[in-house]
């Protein structure tokens, strides 16, 4: 897009008019970018970006008092390019300490084309493990849900709106509790249910760290990369895709059955129903929370801090910060972010 021979030119006055949620433009390095569809997905929150609507953000993106942006931010910005500042309004900027403009440091895309169905690209790929893991953890952004499969039916199975999770799982929770009281008293069921809810945070942490981020231990080869991509890689590749922020029921049901099989070894009838119901409630709350962490806003300091914590996992250091609804287990197991990750 940035290589068009005929590029639209805009005056700074024209850009300044696009300073609201309905139309949000910015200037960066004498180039104009339309962030109208992006501001709600901005990792730092929409409010921060709205402060700079219609303005030149070249120095702001380098300002440590605002937030020094990594090269990945410039990669994302590049996708929203719409033209150039007209000649009479162009200014000369000082180069950063590296001596090279940040936009010139953005490498040409050699991984997946986000504008085409992703699955067959992965299936036919010949990436090395090192290259795959590096690229899949570099976030990209689309103003719409990505296409995973060319087949419409398969594609539908990969897309899950946030509201479908409680609709799917809460009847199952009620059924488990109803069946459970056929074996155990209500008091025992209550204890098992509470135990399941409280156990979820550890299960959440463990699955995120040891299953979803099996990263360095996946074997070389395309099949391993495809499996990793399907399970969790696509979420790091497109972290703001609204239809892939909660787990598709086909995948979550498969994982739930594996956990249920393990629980059946430990718990008797009745108790297994209660614990499973509690874990599922924990899961539903987690999935809804996870969606909010990517797309929600709040004035509550604790919630805002939790959002910042999780987005740091996506945009700064994917090898730390595995807790999503809480950072408690990261503190217990020493997987908190370190200062050098900033």
Binding-site members for heme are 42, 69
Is residue 205 exposed (0-12), middle (13-18) or buried (19+ Cβ within 10 Å)? buried
Compute how many other C-beta atoms are within 10 angstroms of the C-beta atom of residue 206: 14
CA dihedral 299, 305, 309, 312 (to 10 degrees): 60
**In the 8-state DSSP scheme, what is residue 5?**
S
CB 32 within 8 A of CB 56: no
Task: Provide the annotated binding site.
Answer: 42, 69, 208, 213, 232, 235-236, 290, 294, 310, 313-314
Distance CA(83)–CA(156), nearest Å, equals: 35
CB 119 within 8 A of CB 44: no
* 28: region left, alpha or beta (phi > 0 left; psi from -120 to 50 alpha): beta
CB 32 within 8 A of CB 84: yes
For residue 63 the two structure tokens come to 């300002």
Distance CA(300)–CA(303), nearest Å, equals: 5
Task: Provide the annotated binding site for Zn(2+).
Answer: 208, 213, 232, 235-236, 290, 294, 310, 313-314
Residue with tokens 């590049």: 78
Residues 6+ apart with CB under 8 A from 187: none
């Amino acid at each position: 897009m940035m290589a068009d021979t005929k590029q639209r030119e805009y005056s700074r006055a024209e850009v300044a008019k696009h300073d609201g949620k309905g139309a949000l433009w910015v200037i960066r390095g004498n180039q104009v970018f339309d962030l109208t569809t992006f501001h709600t997905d901005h990792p730092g929150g929409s409010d921060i970006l709205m402060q700079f609507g219609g303005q030149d953000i070249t120095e702001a993106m380098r300002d440590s008092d605002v937030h020094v942006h990594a090269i990945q931010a410039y990669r994302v910005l590049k996708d929203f390019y719409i033209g150039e500042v007209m000649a009479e309004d162009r200014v000369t900027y000082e180069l950063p300490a590296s001596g090279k403009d940040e936009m010139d440091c953005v490498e040409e895309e050699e991984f997946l084309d986000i504008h085409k169905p992703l699955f067959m690209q992965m299936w036919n790929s010949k990436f090395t493990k090192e290259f795959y893991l590096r690229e899949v953890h570099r976030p990209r952004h689309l103003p719409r849900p990505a296409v995973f499969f060319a087949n419409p039916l398969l594609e539908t199975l990969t897309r899950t709106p946030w509201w479908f999770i409680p609709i799917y799982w809460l009847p199952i929770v009620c059924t488990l509790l109803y069946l459970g009281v056929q074996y155990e008293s209500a008091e025992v069921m209550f204890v098992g249910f509470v135990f399941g809810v409280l156990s979820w945070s550890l299960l959440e942490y463990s699955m995120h760290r040891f299953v979803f981020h099996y990263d360095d231990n996946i074997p070389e080869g395309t099949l391993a990369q495809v499996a990793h991509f399907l399970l969790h890689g696509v979420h790091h590749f497109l972290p703001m895709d609204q239809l892939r922020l909660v787990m598709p029921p086909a995948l979550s049901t498969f994982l739930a059955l594996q956990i249920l099989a393990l629980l059946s070894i430990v718990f008797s009838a009745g108790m297994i129903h209660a614990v499973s119901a509690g874990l599922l409630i924990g899961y539903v709350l987690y999935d809804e929370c996870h969606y909010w962490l990517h797309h929600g806003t709040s004035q509550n300091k604790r919630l805002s801090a939790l959002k910042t914590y999780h987005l740091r996992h996506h945009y700064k250091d994917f090898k730390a910060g595995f807790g999503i609804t809480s950072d408690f287990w990261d503190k217990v197991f020493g997987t908190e972010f370190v200062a050098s990750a900033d």
